[in-house]
Amino acid sequence: MKKQLLFPEYPHILHGGDYNPDQWLDTPSIIDDDFRFMDLAHCGVFSVGIFSWTQLEPEEGKFTFEWLDDILDRCAKAGKKVFLATPTGARPPWMAKKYPECRRVNIDGKRDEYQMRHNLCFSSELVRQKTGIIDAKLAERYGKHPAVLGWHISNELSGECYCPLCLARFYQFLEKKYHTVDELNRRIWSGFWSHRYTSFDEINPRDPAMEAIRVDWKRFNAEQMRDYLAFEKSVIRRYSDRPVTTNMMGLHKEIDYYRLAPECDFIADDCYPMWYLGEEKNVGARFSMLHDLHYSMQRKPFVMMESAPGVPNFRPYAHLRRPGELQREMLLAVGHGADGTMYFQWRKSRGGFEKFHGAVVGHDNSAENLTFKQVADYGSHLKNIDCVAGAPRKIDVALVWDWDNSWALDLGDFTHNFKEVHTVFPRHYKALWESNFSLGVIESTGDFSPYRVLVAPMLFMLKKGVREKLEAFVRNGGTLIVSHMFGYVNEDSLCYRPADLTALTGVEVEDYDCMEPGRTQSALYRGKSTPVLEAGELLRNQSAEVLATYEKDFYAGSPAITRNAIGQGSVYYLAANFSDEFLKEFYFGALTQAGVQPQLHNLPDYVKCSIREDETGKYIFLYNFGENTETFPTPQGAYDLWNDCALSATLTLAPRGSTVLVVK
Ligand code: GLA
Ligand code: ZN
């Protein structure tokens, strides 16, 4: 497979982090120390200027770039690279005071006071004007600077604003989508509770009665962020052609990142796992899933833009990193397709909200503390895996995740057991991950053609054209596995008739049954009884093969799992919420039957792998998520790339151990 280098002029795995020298301008010796420590920590790439608006424009129209000239020149001289940020993640107090319209209006209709960050109104022309000025000045001055590798637009775009300007744009958004208010009334079923509107501006986006409108409001907010991101990018593009990105936040419940991805030249993400809550395996699976999402968005490497070198200040437990944990976390990202692992933050600030957030350099300003040493140790190995940069992944199996699907489930008023896609989806992912399949995460309107198997847990909302696309995928030989709550509503949250999906699934959902405390249900699959967790659907079989049946209650003997053969492929229907163990076994069987194999066989249960592959080699990443040292046979022909040495016949991974091998 061909390499896809994100930065051909810098063909390394990026290592560095958010760097705020602007907070230390009155202590130049600290900045000298920074440059000394950067080499000791083997850090070469920094996100600079993320929250620097007041340092760049201390008063309206008065600009001070000298400090940034100096930092970027020093970086260039020292061979360091920079993601230069636009400073719009936090606006200056002078702006908030002089121009109240830049402050958001909250859900109760009250305009926010000046406080915190990530809170500009995306509709305000004034905000665009001020953003346009500062961004243009930055891009003009530094757009071709030798240290600038790319652009970091704003920071963690997020939130919503109910100001009159935003509401007006929301009504335009609805008008563009539905054309007429009559069409909107028809499509969203507004006759319910007498909600028929006579004009768009009668619509209240907070109104829970109209779930379709609530979903549209969230879609609108994604469009607001996309539009603002595109605006900042267009200003940069006037002066600079270097790649542009913005940092995402995984499966953030409110933000449809698929809408932002096309504006990014590469995907960047912020990752903060809590290894100490529950089994480490669960955390490993969850973050593998997020990395797979970010890799799949553009089917190319991405950058983990933020992670914690030490302990984040905001966690419920200030759990110190355990030996090996940092390296394993970073290599988990790289193995799943990250071409960079970066930290928030390079140096701890002395004051302000995050002064106790872990950093590579602490308040002790030394290279001697535990965090620094772990970072430096990880960094010192990275040159050994330079060859991994740009290597793609071979992925046959994709899980289908849609944000508007999760909103439709979440906002609908029905039994909670049937809504929890944020819990169920990761459990299905983990069941596949347990067996070391190489996985992707894609949206239902995306391209299915690279995959052989699609897994759609709780895909409640089937948007226009998706059923037809799924059917074509299966007819052409694909395997589709869906779970309970499949295809209940269309993109406007209007229910389908159950029979509408029969041609695909071979079954019709008659009803569903939720277990109140004290009542249990189970299903019989291949002669073995398996528990049903809380909820299951009653199926009317039309043309499918029945693979499992319910065991209890009046509907005992009716289908709980089916398979429908259509064309060259098949559709599995899992009508109930099944246990993790069962899902693992079930998926292993269904995938191997579809001709898909795990990336490696016979690893110990607590050891997981991920593989990247290019013209020169197959890079095998191994991780121990258990509490014991694990010893197992070395994959055939493998060389220890991480430590640059030959291997014996067996490999040993300590608890939290991780490594990278290559097979040429
Ligand atoms: C986010 C932000 C950073 C910082 C970190 C703290 O990811 O982007 O500015 O606040 O969280 O973990
Ligand atoms: Zn607004």
Whole-number Å distance, alpha carbon 308 to ligand 1 midpoint, is 9
Same-domain pairing of 350 and 433 = no
Query: 154-189, pLDDT tens digit by residue?
Result: 999 999 999 999 999 999 999 999 999 999 999 999
Same-domain pairing of 614 and 584 = no
Q: Among residues 57, 156, 325, 534, which one is catalytic?
A: 156
Q: Which numbered atom of ligand 1 lies nearest the CA of 156? A: 8
* Average pLDDT of every residue of the chain: 97
Same-domain pairing of 622 and 510 = no
Is 532 domain-assigned?
yes
pLDDT for position 416: 83
Q: Which residues contact 67 (CB under 8 A, 6 or more apart)?
A: 21, 22, 25, 55
Tokens read off for 129: 């004007």
Kindly list the protein residues that place their beta carbon closer than 5 angstroms to ligand 2, a single-atom ion: 121, 123, 161, 163, 165-166
Is 5 domain-assigned?
no
Least trusted range by pLDDT, from 4-18, 122-136, 308-322, 373-387: 308-322
**Shortest CA distance to 514 belongs to which of 534, 531, 530?**
534
- 491 is a catalytic site residue: no
pLDDT for position 535: 86
CA distances from 495 to 41, 392, 492, 576 (A): 56, 40, 9, 20
Q: Given 534, 560, 593, which residue is the final one in a domain?
A: 593
- In what helix (H) or strand (E) does residue 65 lie, and over which residues does it extend? none
Q: Which domain holds residue 649?
A: 607-663
441 residue type, one letter: V
Same-domain pairing of 265 and 315 = yes
Same-domain pairing of 434 and 323 = no
Q: How far is CA 117 from the centre of its chain?
A: 22
Distance CA 488, CA 498 (A): 7
Q: Specify whether the CB–CB gap between 320 and 283 falls below 8 A.
A: no
138 residue type, one letter: L
Is 647 domain-assigned?
yes
Q: Given 328, 353, 385, which residue is the final one in a domain?
A: 385
Q: Which residues contact 243 (CB under 8 A, 6 or more apart)?
A: 6, 7, 149, 150, 151, 265, 266
pLDDT for position 534: 86
Whole-number Å distance, alpha carbon 165 to ligand 2 midpoint, is 5
498, pLDDT greater than 90: no
Is 277 domain-assigned?
yes
Is 77 domain-assigned?
yes
Is 391 domain-assigned?
no
Distance CA 382, CA 80 (A): 15
Same-domain pairing of 503 and 546 = yes
Same-domain pairing of 543 and 449 = yes
Query: 271-291, pLDDT tens digit by residue?
Result: 999 999 999 999 999 999 999
Query: 212-256, pLDDT tens digit by residue?
Result: 999 999 999 999 999 999 999 999 999 999 999 999 999 999 999
Tokens read off for 197: 């509107």
Q: Considering the entire predicted model, what is its pTM?
A: 0.98
Same-domain pairing of 279 and 413 = no
> What residues does 530 pair with on adjacent strands?
523
| Burial (CB count <10 Å: 0-12, 13-18, 19+), residue 108 | exposed
Whole-number Å distance, alpha carbon 244 to ligand 2 midpoint, is 25
> What SS3 class is residue 102?
helix
Q: Specify whether the CB–CB gap between 223 and 131 falls below 8 A.
A: no
Is 8 domain-assigned?
no
Q: How far is CA 394 from the centre of its chain?
A: 19
| E-only strand ranges, 127-233 | 148-152
Distance CA 533, CA 180 (A): 44
- 581 is a catalytic site residue: no
601, pLDDT greater than 90: yes
Q: Categorize the per-residue pLDDT at 128 as very low, low, confident or very high, splitting at 50, 70 and 90.
A: very high
Query: 568-589, pLDDT tens digit by residue?
Result: 999 999 999 999 999 999 999 9
Q: How far is CA 25 from the centre of its chain?
A: 35
Query: 622-639, pLDDT tens digit by residue?
Result: 999 999 999 999 999 999
Q: For residue 521, what is the domain's CATH number?
A: 3.40.50.880
Same-domain pairing of 378 and 421 = no
Q: For residue 335, what is the domain's CATH number?
A: 3.20.20.80
The share of the chain scoring above pLDDT 70, in percent, equals 100
Q: Given 340, 364, 385, which residue is the final one in a domain?
A: 385
414, pLDDT greater than 90: no
Distance CA 168, CA 171 (A): 5
Is 149 domain-assigned?
yes
Q: How many domains does the chain have?
A: 3
Q: Which numbered atom of ligand 1 lies nearest the CA of 51? A: 9
Distance CA 571, CA 456 (A): 11
Same-domain pairing of 307 and 403 = no
Same-domain pairing of 589 and 653 = no
Same-domain pairing of 322 and 435 = no
